[in-house]
Amino acid sequence: MRELIESRNARIAVIGLGYIGLPTAIMFASAGFEVTGFEVREEVVERLKNGTSHIAEPGIEDLLGEAIESGRLNPTSNPEDIRDRDVYVVCVQTPLGDDGTPDLSYLESAVKTAAKAMKKGSLIIIESTVPPLTTLKMAGLIEELTGLKRGDDFYMVHAPERVMPGRIFKELVYNSRIFGGVTPESAELAELLYRSFVKGQTFKTSSTVSEVVKLMENTFRDVNIALANEFAFLAHQYGIDVFEAIELANTHPRVRIHTPGIGVGGHCLPKDPHLLVWPAKEDFGLIKLAREINDSMPLFTKDLLFEALKTLNIPPEEAKVAVFGIAYKGDSDDTRNSPALTFVEGIREDVAEVRTYDPLVPGTSRSIEEAAEGSDAVVIATDHSAFKSLNWEELGKLMRTRILIDGRHVVENPPRGFLFKGVGRGEY
């Protein structure tokens, strides 16, 4: 296998062409490997064959076009097309089910697809974020299905990604990377393979340590955001601006307080802390409480809005509210688990009308003016760059009442003539 990888003659199958699998398949193709991209969604395969991407990522159209035209990347939905590959890279989602526990059905299906197609000596790599011990379980599934033995007859690795949407191609190359093998040789082979395009540092460990590391990274972030949100609650108690306090506290060389806001969204942070503790036999208070605090932020923002309506004697049932931003974070078009949407659903039944405007998300108001027209309150729910330079004097003329609620610390100095409240802005 080592020679096949070094000579770029290893034939690679990437299973799952989503926002991680497609860029990864493109990077391997660009590094000179023959890559077959397996994707169950046939409409996605057809688009990719024509060189058009179903995911919006800077630079992806050109890189995809080159990979397809060179013949090195071949999208398919036929499992026969990935038979007897040297490497299988599994990049499928691991969402939470409706019951709040991890749904590993996509992963198991992808691993079974690989097991049916693989050969003796294949290297199986799981990039998906999974609960600890899952890679070992998947190795057992492969052994059951193929009769092959891990380590002797096939290699298996957990290789988590750390990329940020919008910077995927840069981070795939320059971010450091961890390879967790079910055997040391598995990790060595995976590291050799990825160094065909990874320029960042690479580290080898066991599959379970790798799974825990990935989940610790996002749990660390979620818990620290929850702490920042709790500092915001305190700022309201003490009548201070939490962002001023955080900026000053962060001048300490070893303090890095995160940013409070309307909540925590995306497909990672709301989920990964649950994956981390799920297989454990006991509860973990801090991690669980942090999730509860972050999930409470849309409601906290609703309270700020209702306090402002009350101050101006506007009955909520008569209020018209414009929500600016529904994406889960600034300059993204992704609305998965967006706290802005949780906020919108949380007020919809209590107010007369809710209009949303998000420049990056289709289906919202055609313009910010259309959303603001006749409204009693504007609520900023996403920190899009476009919202940082709004003409509030002009927008205010369109509004019936001028209430401004800032859920993402977008407005530094509240505009004159507005009743302003912001998450963490306790002085208002």
Q: Which residues bind ligand SAJ (CB under 6 A)?
A: 162-165, 217-218, 221, 225, 258-259, 261, 264-266, 268-269, 328-329
User: Shortest Cβ distance from residue 167 to ligand SAJ (Å)?
Assistant: 9
- Nearest Cα neighbor of 387 from 428, 354, 340, 347 is 340
Structure letter (DSSP) for residue 179: E
Pick the catalytic residue from 199, 204, 268, 421: 268
Q: How many Cβ atoms sit within 10 Å of the Cβ of residue 217? A: 16
- Which C-beta is closer to ligand SAJ: that of 125 or that of 309? 125
- Which C-beta is closer to ligand SAJ: that of 29 or that of 163? 163
91 is catalytic: no
**Which DSSP string corresponds to 46-96?**
HHHHTT--SS--TTHHHHHHHHHHTT-EEEES-GGGGTT-SEEEE-----B
The answer to whether the beta carbons of residues 94 and 128 sit under 8 Å apart is yes
User: Shortest Cβ distance from residue 274 to ligand SAJ (Å)?
Assistant: 13
Dist. CA 385–CA 394, nearest whole Å = 19
- Which C-beta is closer to ligand SAJ: that of 27 or that of 148? 27
Dist. CA 325–CA 263, nearest whole Å = 13
User: Shortest Cβ distance from residue 226 to ligand SAJ (Å)?
Assistant: 9
CA distances from 104 to 21, 85, 96, 234 (A): 17, 24, 9, 39
- Nearest Cα neighbor of 268 from 325, 219, 324 is 219
Angle between helices 242-249 and 207-238 (to 10 degrees): 130
Dist. CA 374–CA 268, nearest whole Å = 37
Q: Which amino acid is at 290?
A: A
> What does the block give as tokens for 162?
């750390």
User: Shortest Cβ distance from residue 44 to ligand SAJ (Å)?
Assistant: 20
User: Shortest Cβ distance from residue 240 to ligand SAJ (Å)?
Assistant: 19
Dist. CA 125–CA 159, nearest whole Å = 7
C-alpha torsion 111→114→120→126, nearest 10 = -50
214 is catalytic: yes
- Which C-beta is closer to ligand SAJ: that of 155 or that of 273? 273
Q: How many Cβ atoms sit within 10 Å of the Cβ of residue 150? A: 19
- Which C-beta is closer to ligand SAJ: that of 274 or that of 329? 329
User: Shortest Cβ distance from residue 334 to ligand SAJ (Å)?
Assistant: 8
Dist. CA 382–CA 368, nearest whole Å = 14
- Which C-beta is closer to ligand SAJ: that of 334 or that of 376? 334
Pick the catalytic residue from 91, 120, 149, 214: 214
User: Shortest Cβ distance from residue 216 to ligand SAJ (Å)?
Assistant: 9
- Which C-beta is closer to ligand SAJ: that of 36 or that of 128? 128
Q: What's the first-to-final CA gap in the chain, in angstroms?
A: 64
- Catalytic center residues: 214, 268
